Amino acid sequence: MKYNPIDSKLFKKNRANFMQQMHPKTLAVFNSNDIYPISADSTIPFQQHRDIFYLSGVDQEESILVLMPNANNPVHKEVLFLKETNEHIAVWEGEKLTKEKAFERTGVTAVYWLQQFDTIFNQMMAEAEGIYFNTNEHLRANTEVQTREDRFIVKCKEKYPAHQVYKSAPILHALRSKKDPIEIDLMQHACDITAKGINRVLDFLKPGVWEDELEAEIMHEFLRNRSKGFAYTPIIASGKNACVLHYIENNAQCQDGDVILMDFGAEYANYASDQTRCFPVNGRFTDRQKQVYNAVLNVKKAAEKLLVPGTLIPEYHKEVGKLMTDQLLQIGLLDKTDVKNENPEWPAYKKYFMHGASHFIGLDTHDSGLYHKPIEAGMVFTCEPGIYIPEENLGIRLEDDLIVRESGDPFNMMASIPLEIEEIEETMNSK
């Protein structure tokens, strides 16, 4: 791993919080992700399943965490199974976790090698009346590929058909929606690395440069700051490309007079950052570009003030839609007739702002969270309004990561990144 060690008290706290919500005489199982093959002997770089990481801090393949708060054997209250390391593995793949290192990183006292799993798990299941399975219930999840977790669930149901089945997802969604101060520090570090990426890329942005050249400069800055890289596939979209919401080709040449939209964020210790900024390729916005940019900025500033404890997220999105409608009227993209005759299921503003205004962020870019419950202090959201005008070759989206506080406006973790037009132009023309 590239990141510095994380205090194990975070993972101890997370496990304790989860176990407090488990039914009596149950256990819960969490599996690492697979290492996914490409072809021949090539694989996709390993990415740990965020839930087992959240509960243990283990960032290694073929790991299993079992939680059983009412275990007859107190040692088995928390059990971690790891792939056994040896000299051969150390030579070919690098050192894996030893039992001692695993305890240091996780705080789990009972650490066994993976080949002992069937025997010990069978003993634990003999005591248990129910089991928590960790299925992917994220609203945006694509569950076509069978995961290591999925295979375990199928096998377990066949072997232990009499056990009551429970879901881990509702508990984890609630827990992960609010961030511990240690998590906030890790996310702030990711945001700070992202800011360094912005500073670097502005040195290279000019007419004639290619989008992928800019992407390469950002990646360079991320890696040299102990990030694995992008928290999600970056969008480096100049001109009309910015009107494609998930444009990821990043292969066009930046033209004089265009605005470039850059939606990217660094990961750090598996935690994500997520920002979007728009810059004039030649260092100066046109009057029309300023008009549209400020319309988006006005919506963003007003929307942020709604991210406070007690706000209901569906109502928040409705209010942001009203804010956007007002701005679109002011800049001439909508008229009163458009609004009067709009379809309530697809309001008039959706022609130019068709996506959501905010999402949870944390271990996942689109993090787990309870979208039907009121916002609480300690939650972290993006705020990302946008206006997209293909016929003007112009797309503007502005996005920051915000911590909800007990009182007052949320704290902006991206505050060091230029946002106002004057600051952007001054920064670009002083380089």
pLDDT tier at 230, thresholds 50, 70, 90: very high
Check whether 94 has a pLDDT greater than 80. no
23 given a catalytic annotation: no
Establish whether 401 is a catalytic residue.
Answer: no
User: What's the CA gap between 309 and 376, in Å, rounded?
Assistant: 5
Instruction: Work out the percent of the chain whose per-residue pLDDT is above 70.
Output: 99
Where residue 431 falls among pLDDT bands split at 50, 70, 90? low
Which three-class secondary structure string do you get for 227-265?
CCCECCCCEEEEHHHHHCCCCCCCCCECCCCCEEEEEEC
The one catalytic residue among 50, 105, 189, 359: 359
How many angstroms separate the first and last alpha carbons of the chain? Answer: 35
Average pLDDT, the chain: 96
Check if 355 is active-site.
Answer: yes
Higher pLDDT, 89 or 309: 309
Q: Give the number of other CB atoms < 10 A from CB of residue 329.
A: 17
- Catalytic hit among 355, 420, 423, 426: 355
Pick the catalytic residue: 34, 183, 221, 263? Answer: 263
Catalytic residue flag (residue 399)? yes
CA distances from 152 to 42, 59, 64 (A): 24, 19, 10
Under the banding of pLDDT at 50, 70 and 90, the label for residue 139 is confident
Q: Give catalytic status of residue 338 as yes or no.
A: no
Q: What is the pLDDT confidence band of residue 233, given thresholds at 50, 70 and 90?
A: very high
pLDDT at residue number 261: 98
Token pair belonging to 185: 């520090």
Residues 101-118 have pLDDT tens digits of: 999 999 998 999 999 999
Residue 220 is a catalytic residue: no
Ordered by where they begin, the domains of the chain are: 9-176 (3.40.350.10), 181-429 (3.90.230.10)
Give the pLDDT score at 1.
Answer: 82
Q: What is the pLDDT of residues 142-198, one digit of tens each?
A: 888 999 999 999 999 999 999 999 999 999 999 999 999 999 999 999 999 999 999
Q: Enumerate residues 6+ apart whose C-beta is below 8 A from 350.
A: 321
> DSSP label at 25?
T
How many other C-beta atoms can be found within 10 angstroms of the C-beta atom of residue 142?
7
Question: Two tokens at 74?
Answer: 């107190």
- pLDDT for 143 equals 81
Tell me if 302 sits within 8 A of 399, measured CB to CB.
no
388 is catalytic: yes
Q: Residue 276 phi/psi, 5° resolution?
A: -135, 135
SS3 34: coil
CB 65 within 8 A of CB 57: no
Report whether pLDDT(313) > 70.
yes
The one catalytic residue among 61, 364, 367, 399: 399
Given 246, 249, 288, 420, which residue is catalytic?
246
Q: What is the DSSP letter of 24?
A: T
288-325: b (≥16 Cβ within 10 Å) or e: ebeebbbbbbbbbebbbebbbeebebeebeeebbebbb
**CA-based max dimension of the chain:** 74
* DSSP code of residue 408: S
Per-residue pLDDT band for 343 (boundaries 50, 70, 90) equals very high
The residues near 116 (Cβ < 8 Å, ≥ 6 apart) are 81
Question: Residue 101: what pLDDT?
Answer: 93
Per-residue burial over 39-54, b if 16 or more Cβ lie within 10 Å, else e, is eeeeeeeebbbbbbbb
Residues 36-92 have pLDDT tens digits of 999 999 999 999 999 999 999 999 999 999 999 999 999 999 999 999 877 777 667
Residue-wise DSSP of 317-339: HHHHHHHHHHHHHHTTSS-HHHH
Q: Which two structure tokens, joined as six digits, stand for 36?
A: 């996914």
pTM: 0.96
User: How far apart are alpha carbons 345 and 355 in whole angstroms?
Assistant: 14
Residue from 221, 384, 400, 401 carrying the catalytic annotation: 384
Active-site annotation holder among 189, 388, 400, 401: 388
Q: What is the structure's pLDDT at 90?
A: 67
DSSP 47: -
359 part of the active site? yes
Among 258, 274, 364, 400, the one annotated catalytic: 274
